[in-house]
Amino acid sequence: MPGVARVEEVEFAEVDELFVIADLLLGPRGVAGPAVHRENANALELGGRASALLGSLAQGPARTRTLVIAGGLFDLPADAALRGQPDGLVAPGSASAEVLAALGAFVAVPGHSLVILCGHRDLALTLPATQRWLLGALGCDAAARGRVQIVLDGAGWTARIGERRVLVVQGGEVDESNALDPAALAQLRRAATRGLPLAGPAAEALGPMARVCEALRARDPWLELLLPATARTIPLLSAWFPDQRSALARARAHTRAPASLGLLGSGRARATSEGEGASEAASQGARALLWRASRSTAAGVNPRRQPITGMLGA
């Protein structure tokens, strides 16, 4: 139609070089790297490697460069977005702080820009207070702040490199369990900005089940392989943490369908007894799946990529 812009007519950013990374997973405990690797990996070494890479980008020849972090900049507790206290998310002198300093050095170079796509582990980035804290942690001056873009709407980021157009999206685009609902994220920002109570999917995704799972994840890094929690994994969690069956049943009773924020699965249950949702048969099946996961991991295979069949399967 005349007067209506077509997609191909929209102007995109043009860069000489584009670098894309994901899942830095900087943590509030000063650890860089996914929780499942924390027991076996040297966090300082991981932070040093990332910092060295970012440092080499910052010191390269003068060209327009964009670094895109495609989700997972932080690995924050699910309720971090509710506390409104971003100070302390990264411990001073930690590996995570070292990586942030390297990111700041990169974006401080004229012609360099940093694009951060919000992922399901760093929902706190949706809040203005966390964004201000991040810019301060990066050490950005006024000019550098203008070269930092935080994408919260799930649209991804696109640019032209020569004659080619590149689109970068967060992993939830192809993994429904980690998908983000832009409307729910907007609801979270609206509630924080206006001082309103959370409601709907945002409240459910940051509610009792998320808090229970975060506490369990701190106890056993295996839980990293089972998140986000779904109706199928509740029996697994109950079998692995029998002392938490009552808490899981109560939390599930308050959960409607919070998969929209990529933290939990769907399904509402009524907690009529302490062991609801964790029958003996389900517990046996859960332990069998955990055994298979341990065998797969020992063989170097990602358990989440293995087909699930049988009692708890599709």
Each residue of 144-195: pLDDT tens digit?
Answer: 999 999 998 888 899 999 889 999 998 877 776 677 777 777 777 787 778 7
Question: The whole model's pTM is what?
Answer: 0.68
Please say if the pLDDT value at position 278 is more than 50: no
Residues 67, 63: Cα–Cα separation, whole Å: 13
Lowest-pLDDT range of 197-201, 223-227, 257-261:
257-261
Average pLDDT score over residue span 255-283: 39
Q: What is the DSSP string of 261-293?
A: GTSB--------STTTT--HHHHHHHHHHHHHH
Please say if the pLDDT value at position 38 is more than 50: no
Find how far residue 111's CA is from the centre of its chain.
Answer: 28
The helix (H) or strand (E) run that includes residue 58 is helix 43-58
Tokens in use for 253?
A: 């009773």
β-strands 157-161, 164-168: how paired?
A: antiparallel
Residues 48, 42: Cα–Cα separation, whole Å: 10
**CA 234, 235, 239, 243: dihedral to nearest 10 degrees?**
50
